[in-house]
A and B are shown apart, each in its own frame.
Chain A
Amino acid sequence: MIVAQGVTKNYGTSCVVDGVSLTLPAGGITSIIGPNGAGKSTFLSMISRLMSMDMGTVTVAGLDVTKTPSDVLARRLSILRQDNHMTARLTVRDLVSFGRYPYSKGRLTLEDKQQIDDAIGYLNLGELSDRFLDELSGGQRQRAFVAMVLCQDTDYVLLDEPLNNLDMKHAMGMMKLLRRAANELGKTVVLVLHDINFASWYSDYIVAMKNGKLANQGPAAEMIDPKVLSEIYDMEIKVHEIGGQRISLYYE
Chain B
Amino acid sequence: MQPDPATTVPVPAPSVRRIGKLSRPAFVLLVLGALALISIICFMTLGAKGSWSFVLPFRGRKLLALGLVAYSVAVSTVLFQTVTNNRILTPSIMGFDALYVLIQTAIVFFLGIGALGTLNPQAQFAAEVLVMVAFSGLLFQWLFLGEERSLHLLVLVGIVFGILFRSLSQFMQRLLDPNAFNVLQDSFFASFATVDTSLLVAASVIVGAVTIVGIRLMHTYDVLSLGRSQAINLGVDYKRTVVIILTLVSVLVAVSTALVGPITFFGLLVASLAHSLLGTSRHKYVLPAAVLLGIVCLVGGQTVLERLFAFDTALSIIIEFLGGVVFIFLVLRRAAR
Interface residues of A (CB under 8 A from B): 48-51, 69-75, 78-81, 84-91, 93-94, 97-99, 101-113, 129-130, 132, 149, 152
Offer 6 A-B interface pairs, CB within 8 angstroms, sorted by A.
Answer: A48-B233, A87-B281, A89-B281, A93-B14, A93-B15, A102-B235
Contacts of A107 in B (CB 8 A): 3, 8, 11, 219
Pair B12/A93 contact, Cβ less than 8 Å: yes
Pair A87/B15 contact, Cβ less than 8 Å: no
Pair B227/A85 contact, Cβ less than 8 Å: yes
Interface size class of B (residues with CB under 8 A): 35 or more
Complex CA gap A70/B222 in Å reads 17
Pair A108/B8 contact, Cβ less than 8 Å: yes
Pair B11/A108 contact, Cβ less than 8 Å: yes
Contacts of B237 in A (CB 8 A): 69-71
Pick from A50, A87, A108, A129: contact of B14, CB under 8 Å: A129
Given contacts A98-B223, A101-B219, list 19 more A-B pairs with CB under 8 A.
Answer: A50-B233, A71-B235, A72-B235, A74-B233, A75-B235, A79-B233, A84-B227, A85-B85, A86-B85, A86-B230, A87-B281, A91-B14, A102-B235, A105-B219, A106-B219, A108-B12, A109-B7, A110-B7, A149-B233
Q: How many A-B residue pairs have CB under 8 A?
A: 111
Complex CA gap A132/B15 in Å reads 8
Pick from A50, A72, A98, A104: contact of B232, CB under 8 Å: A50
B residues 1-51 near A (Cβ < 8 Å) are 1, 3-4, 7-9, 11-12, 14-15
With most chain B CB atoms within 10 A of its CB, the pick from A49, A50, A80 is A50
Pair A97/B234 contact, Cβ less than 8 Å: no
Contacts of A72 in B (CB 8 A): 235
Nearest first, the 10 A-B pairs at minimum CB distance are: A74-B235, A71-B235, A91-B15, A88-B281, A88-B225, A106-B219, A102-B235, A109-B3, A86-B227, A110-B7
Contacts of B280 in A (CB 8 A): 89
Pair B9/A110 contact, Cβ less than 8 Å: yes
With most chain B CB atoms within 10 A of its CB, the pick from A84, A105, A149 is A105
**Nearest CB of chain A from residue B275's CB, rounded to whole Å:** 8
Contacts of A113 in B (CB 8 A): 9, 12
Pair A98/B3 contact, Cβ less than 8 Å: no
Pair B233/A86 contact, Cβ less than 8 Å: no
**Nearest CB of chain B from residue A112's CB, rounded to whole Å:** 8
Mask of B205-241 contacts with A, CB within 8 angstroms, 1/0:
0000000000000010011011111101111111000
